[in-house]
Structure 1
Amino acid sequence: MKVLVTGANGQLGYDVLKRLEYEGIEYLGADRELLDITNEEHVKRIIGDYYPDVVIHCAAYTWVDRAEDEKDLCYSVNVLGTKYVAEACKNINAKMVYISTDYVFDGVGETPFGITHKPNPINYYGETKYKGELEVLNILKNYFIVRISWVFGNHGNNFVKTMLKLAKERDEISVVVDQFGSPTYTYDLAESLVEMIQSDKFGIYHVTNEGFCNWYEFACEIFKQAGLDIIVNPIKTEEYPTKAKRPKNSRLNKTQNIGSEITHLRSWQEALKNMINNEMR
């Protein structure tokens, strides 16, 4: 098996490459310099020349607030880029993994969103990720659309690293208490994705670590596991205004996953402990 990974230098792409190497699977890590996904001819040439069995499409525009102002760039990367990758996969009959997000949903209610729940994004980033899903659905049959949420890992920037950094600068911080979701550890997610591509159980998946929390609870657990003494104040979303609206309910229901044999990820607390131990060494 040969696997091409877009966004290879990103938070998730980095761990996917490490997992492929661990399992002895041949791969090509394509960063932005090697593969400009907004260039249709470039995408088809690079993917066509390497001729992978699978493309794991991790590359994306992920600056949620900036997307409200940089709509053309966000659309070019998340929608057109995904379309070009999907078409390149179709040309060589390769499987494709498209990494999507909880932001395709509107966040209304408290019930976890299932795979069949109708997407209704409330910000432009979420809108482009949903349109990316539609491109994959329209072009391919051999696809895995994988929705994830609240991603954290040892490579790149994320909420956990931000909290640890703030703890060095402040004695007290405020964190939103009324947005709920499932933290997802890229190390565990990468293992699940590499397991997934070795099957033909195509379809839409929700993949996160087990359990739900709000950002305040997440922050408290970070400081607890890191042994840091810092005061955390819970605040409402309205007290922390952002350019882009955030869904208050990002809980994802994983019971509807097609491939029930796909390994369930450990609890987010256990995953966080693993990351903290690596970060604090």
Structure 2
Amino acid sequence: MTDQRTVAVTGAAGFIGSRVVSELQQAHPDWTITALDNFYLGDVREIGDVTVEHVDVRDRDRLEEALDGADIVMHLAAVSGVDDCEENQDLAYEVNVQGTNNVAWFCRKTGAALVFPYSMAVLGDPVEFPITVDHRRDPMNWYGRTKLLSERAIETFAEGEFPAHLFLKSNLYGEHEIDGQTVSKGTVINFFVGRARDGEPLTVYEPGDQARNYVHVVDVARAYVRSAERLVDQLDAGETGVEKYEIASQEDPGITTVAEIVRDIAAEEIDFEPDIELLENPRDETLVSEFEVDTTRAREALGWSVEYSVEDSIRELLQT
């Protein structure tokens, strides 16, 4: 695919967004990339030859000016931490709901395609497995609710006007480098690795067997690049409306199991075997003991599959 295209990425200074820009540059050096962020948490400023512009998705006029000419918008900007969203509910609403509506309204007016991740947080406690995008929605926190509001809004905006891919994404882990800068985030696996590096115990909230599905940040970025490639074809064909995909791995260990993996690899790699401490759980969170996800849609329609594993990635993190 060599046709010239313009892709805009919001949240481009962040954990996922910066990797997406880098993967797009490698896969499609002929494409023009616009990178936007308000630098709320993201601290990447340059990605190859692309400078990240300071643009806040809440400012619709400035946003539309920055997005002008985009064929595809990858809308990755969000207040994504559960605690951050609970403590700053107005901000989460303004960014995650109003900001997403601003992006979707731009796409509706211009016909630009849209990529949007909406998180497993929309599900609450899953009641059947494997999980698919058809699972009922029952979010347990404000973060999940803001993502659900955006999912429904995009369905309405896109109908008859532009193609959109919505991604039900599992828990992230790993880190990556942008021009020599390590980009990471305090996800649970990264948190455990950091505790082990610092010689601290690994703290696990009760009951300890609660499971999550884990997917590496680079694998997620690769999925979004495949999405953009499919959206180019859909734009050329005049297709509109929403397609939904599951982005996950086949690894869904309980949290204590994850801590044990980190403990055992730390003993091998850094000669330190951290204790595992079980603590009272202060959160109202999903407590299922399995988290299998069916990724058939992404595999068949996007040609995507995971390349990273939890154990190999933990080992690599502890070796650096």
Same fold judged by TM-score > 0.5?
yes
What TM-score, normalized by structure 2, do the two folds share? 0.77
% of aligned pairs identical?
21
SS of 2:285's partner is coil
Q: In 2 relative to 1, CA 102–128 (structure 1 residues): closer, same or farther, beyond 3 Å?
A: same
Q: How does 1:147-158 map to 2 (within 5 A)?
A: 147-154=168-175, 155-158=183-186
Q: In 2 relative to 1, CA 171–125 (structure 1 residues): closer, same or farther, beyond 3 Å?
A: closer
Residue 214 of structure 2 is matched in structure 1 by 183
After the TM superposition, which parts of structure 1 deviate over 6 Å for at least 4 consecutive aligned residues?
none
List runs of 5+ in structure 2 lacking aligned partners: 40-53, 176-182, 235-241
Q: 2:259·2:276 contact (CA, 8 Å) conserved in 1?
A: no
CA distance in 1, matches of 2:258, 2:312: 12
2:33 corresponds to which of 21, 27, 30: 27
Larger RCO, structures 1/2 (Cα 8 Å, 6+ apart): 1
Q: 1:112·1:251 contact (CA, 8 Å) conserved in 2?
A: yes
1:221 aligned onto 2:252: no
Return the offset for 1:111.
2.5
* Greater mean deviation of Cα atoms: 30-39 or 124-133: 30-39
CA distance in 2, matches of 1:42, 1:118: 36
List runs of 5+ in structure 1 lacking aligned partners: none
Q: In 2 relative to 1, CA 254–191 (structure 1 residues): closer, same or farther, beyond 3 Å?
A: same
SS of 1:199's partner is helix
1:83 aligned onto 2:126: no
1:248 aligned onto 2:287: yes
1:164 aligned onto 2:197: no
Residue 207 of structure 1 is matched in structure 2 by 247
Residue 41 of structure 1 is matched in structure 2 by 61
SS of 1:125's partner is helix
2:6 corresponds to which of 2, 5, 11: 2
Residue 98 of structure 1 is matched in structure 2 by 116
CA distance in 1, matches of 2:7, 2:36: 10
Return the offset for 1:121.
0.2
What TM-score, normalized by structure 1, do the two folds share? 0.87
Query: In structure 2, what residue type is equivalent to 1:246?
Result: E
Return the offset for 1:234.
6.4
Residue 230 of structure 1 is matched in structure 2 by 273
CA distance in 2, matches of 1:265, 1:127: 28
SS of 2:7's partner is strand
CA shift digits 1:66-119 (9 cap, x unpaired)? 322311111001111000001111222111001110100121446232211121
Q: In 2 relative to 1, CA 232–147 (structure 1 residues): closer, same or farther, beyond 3 Å?
A: farther
Return the offset for 1:179.
2.0
CA distance in 1, matches of 2:314, 2:7: 26
Higher Cα Rg, which structure: 2
Q: How does 1:106-125 map to 2 (within 5 A)?
A: 106-109=124-127, 111-125=129-143
Q: In 2 relative to 1, CA 110–179 (structure 1 residues): closer, same or farther, beyond 3 Å?
A: farther
1:143 aligned onto 2:147: no
CA distance in 2, matches of 1:264, 1:107: 27
CA distance in 1, matches of 2:218, 2:199: 29
Return the offset for 1:241.
0.8
CA distance in 1, matches of 2:292, 2:108: 29
Query: In structure 1, what residue type is equivalent to 2:134?
Result: T
Residue 91 of structure 2 is matched in structure 1 by 73
CA distance in 1, matches of 2:282, 2:295: 33
Query: In structure 2, what residue type is equivalent to 1:248?
Result: L
Query: In structure 1, what residue type is equivalent to 2:169?
Result: I
CA distance in 2, matches of 1:271, 1:127: 29
Residue 46 of structure 2 is matched in structure 1 by none
Q: In 2 relative to 1, CA 267–111 (structure 1 residues): closer, same or farther, beyond 3 Å?
A: farther
Please give the root-mean-square deviation of Cα atoms over the aligned residues, in Å: 2.4
